[in-house]
Structure 1
Amino acid sequence: MHNPPGQMLHQTESLARLVRDGRTEECQYGEFIRDNIFGVVTNTFPLFVARVGDKKLNQLLDGFLLKHCAMEPEFHHIATEFVQYVQQCPMAEALSTSIIEYEWTAFSAEIDCDVVMPARDWSDDILTSGEHYRILLNPTARLLELPFEVSSHSITPTENHKSNYYAVFRHAQHHVVSQKLRPIDVALVQMIQSLPYASLLELKLQTDAQLADFNLANWIQHFTHLGLLHIEALGE
């Protein structure tokens, strides 16, 4: 959650400070702490909460409070440490763990401090003058392999644990996007990651050598429009 409610944020920071300072006699892990941790988890990880149900969620919260007290006052540290607890908790099933890891990735993209530049208008001149441009990956982007498909407000587990590939990133309008990718998209994104200083011309030459009849211009235009990629003139 990029902008948690002010009261929740204040209370969360207060309770974490008590735990961090060892002043548990002032709170005794009572309802004050539990309600605030509950607020952080339900607002940051709604898909995970829907998956595990009330009973399992209460068990996880109780275990977190007893065994994994948050050591940092910030809202996002509470969320991160809860994810770490779930990853190590025997009662958390694999799918639920994958869901909360996905939501944590989206949350991290939302609060990432990197500046995302607006998309540059595409023109055919960019490709014909490829030696003067390079393609950059959105700095908030993370590539994920997930055992489920993601829609706007829900997830659908895939049969036989089939993998689904996604890029999770924040675009220039400050919205977090979970963009499904094909294996070829993943390969090209990883190529861009491995060649951060290569010109568009160099990227095209490598693509032409490995992917016959692939329209790189259309691919770049599509993912630039989505905000996953950014075209930059060399020397900017």
Structure 2
Amino acid sequence: MEKRILTCIAVDDEPMALKLIEGYIAKTPFLEMKNSFSNAIAALEYFNQNPVDLLFLDIQMPDLSGMELSKIVKEKTKVIFTTAFDQYALEGFKVNAVDYLLKPFNYAEFLVAAQKAQERISGSKNSGNNTESVAGKEFLFVKSGYKQLKIALDQVLYFEGLKDYVKIWVKGNPSAVLTLMTLKSLEEELPSTRFMRVNRSFIVALPYIEEVERNLITINNNQITVSEQHKEKFQEYIEKHSF
């Protein structure tokens, strides 16, 4: 996957917060700051004439909120929210934000979010085949509570969707990692050579399938149903690997 420089805008009505983001952008090699604004209306006026790849948006701002701005520009650019209020996280994921940074955040957290944006934007530009573009991905960083957890993909048994959350079941761990994310957005980040969506609520790790009986998959002694919608694709995989 060819990665490129991402043009970006920062919007925050707090001068110190805006200055911090500007500094983080300046020292990130694959980000190019085009402008910064203390209110969303001015940012929108600029954006309409000068579209960019990525917006760093505060949410609580007067006149036009960051959430409202993100809905206006969502077809043209990606968004990373920056806010001091964690109650907006769920709404942020509903508008398919790349990430959600809770203030105060450090450069390491900022960089993880920016890299996620680069992966998503570069993948979408790569001949329309995003699953192939991330085939070599070895891990994901996911937000769980106030932490960014590194999840090794070769240790994941399956992902379980629960409305706007995802449970990540990892080999050797009796309990799942819970992260605020939709299964659909996660699916876009996963290599199709290793993972497959088998029903509305589950994405399974193909190497960990222990047994298949009709429409039931067994992984780690747990049975997962293959829905009619995904049955044909799954059966093709099984036949391809049968002797």
Q: So what's the TM-score if we normalise by structure 2?
A: 0.30
More strand by share: 2
Higher Cα Rg: structure 1 or 2?
1
Q: So what's the TM-score if we normalise by structure 1?
A: 0.30
Q: Which structure would you say has the larger RCO, counting Cα contacts within 8 Å and 6 or more residues apart?
A: 1
